[in-house]
Amino acid sequence: MTAAHPSIFQAVMADPQSITARHPEIFRTDWATRAKVLGTVVTSIGIAVAAVIFLDIEWSRVLTGFARLGQFVSVMLPPTYGSTENLFLYLHAMLETIAIAFLGTLLAAIFAVPFGFIAARNVVAQKAVHFFTRRGLDAVRSVDKLIWALIWINVVGLGPFAGVLAIMTSDFGLFGKLFSEAIEAADQKAAEGVISTGGSPLHRVRFGLLPGVLPVLISQMLYQMESNTRSATIIGIVGAGGIGAHFQEQIRLNEWQHVAFLTLLMLITVAVIDTVSTKVRFAIIGNERAKAAH
C-alpha cells in the first residue's frame, strides 16, 4: 500500500507494456466480443438520442423542471396533515385503500381458481380449451387496473367498490395464469395415486392436486397483496376510492406538505402490509414443509 512497497496492481499499472509483451495470449484483443459490446452500446445510445428528439425533450425544460422540483421538495418539509379533521379523512381513505387491496386480491384469487385448473395442461387435456382460456386471461391481465376502474365506475358508480372490482378483474387474469402454472408444476404422483384407487377426476383434483397446490396459491395471493396496496393507493385518481383522490387534490392545490404526508402514509402502509403478508406467507409455507417432513 505504501510507496516503498508497491502492490502488484500498482507495479503492473506503472509499466503495462512489459506484462502485455510477456503474456500476449491473455492480453490479445478479442475483436468479436468488443464489436458486439460496442454495437450494443452504440445502438442503445442511438435509440435514446432518437427518442429524445422524437419526444421533443428540451434540456432547458429538464433544468427548469428540476429547479421547480427542488422548490417543491423544500416546501414539503415538514410533512403535515393540517387539521385533525383532515387527519381522520386521510386515515379513513387509507383504510379504504387497504380494504380495496384486500378484497380485490381475495375475490380475484377465488374467481381465478377454477380458471387456473381449466387452463392447466394436466387437468384439462383439451388443447383448444387450454389455448383460449390462457389467451383470455392474458387479455384481461393486459388491461391496466386504472382502465378497469373507469369501466367499473360505469357500472357501480364512483367509490371504493369500483376499485375493488377493478383490482379483482385485472388480478383475476394474473392469478389465472400463475395458478395454472403452479398446477402444471405440481407433483403428479398423488393425483395418479387417487386415480389408481378408483377416484373420479374431481377426486383427483380435490385430493391429488389441491393439497399440494393450495399453499402455493395462497402464497402467490399474499405476495400480490403488497403490489395491490400500491395500486390501490393511486386508483383514486379516476374516482375509484382510496387515498389517490386526496393525493391528486393536494397536488392540484399546491399543498406540498400534505402531499409529503400522504406519501409517507403510503410508504408506511405498504411496508406494514408487506411485513404482515410475508410473515403469513412463511407461516403457511413453513407449515407445509413441516408436514412434508413427516
Binding site for other proteins (CB under 8 A): 1, 6-10, 12, 44, 47-48, 50-52, 54-57, 61-62, 65-66, 68-69, 72, 92, 95-96, 98-100, 102-103, 106, 138-139, 142-144, 146-147, 150-152, 154-157, 159-161, 163-165, 230-231, 233-234, 237-238, 241, 247-248, 251, 259, 263, 266-267, 270-271
Whole-angstrom distance, CA of residue 141 vs CA of residue 136: 9
Count Cα atoms within 13 angstroms, Cβ side, for 285: 14
- The least distance separating other proteins from the CB of residue 178, rounded to whole angstroms, comes to 16
Q: Which is nearest to 162 in space by CA: 99, 225, 251?
A: 99
- The least distance separating other proteins from the CB of residue 68, rounded to whole angstroms, comes to 4
> What value does the CA radius of gyration of the chain take, rounded to a whole number of Å?
28
Quick one: 98 or 213, whose CB is closer to other proteins? 98
* Residue 241 region by backbone torsions, left for phi larger than 0, else alpha for psi between -120 and 50, else beta: left
| The three three-digit cell numbers of residue 62, written as one number | 429538464
| The three three-digit cell numbers of residue 294, written as one number | 413427516
- The least distance separating other proteins from the CB of residue 194, rounded to whole angstroms, comes to 20
- The least distance separating other proteins from the CB of residue 201, rounded to whole angstroms, comes to 26
Answer for the pair 277, 106: CB distance below 8 angstroms, yes or no: no
Quick one: 29 or 125, whose CB is closer to other proteins? 29
Quick one: 123 or 176, whose CB is closer to other proteins? 176
| The three three-digit cell numbers of residue 257, written as one number | 406538505
Quick one: 94 or 123, whose CB is closer to other proteins? 94
Let me know the angle formed at the C-alpha of 66 by 62 and 67, rounded to the nearest 5 degrees: 120
Quick one: 44 or 200, whose CB is closer to other proteins? 44
Quick one: 144 or 192, whose CB is closer to other proteins? 144
Let me know the angle formed at the C-alpha of 250 by 249 and 256, rounded to the nearest 5 degrees: 160
DSSP 205: I
- The least distance separating other proteins from the CB of residue 125, rounded to whole angstroms, comes to 25
- The least distance separating other proteins from the CB of residue 102, rounded to whole angstroms, comes to 5
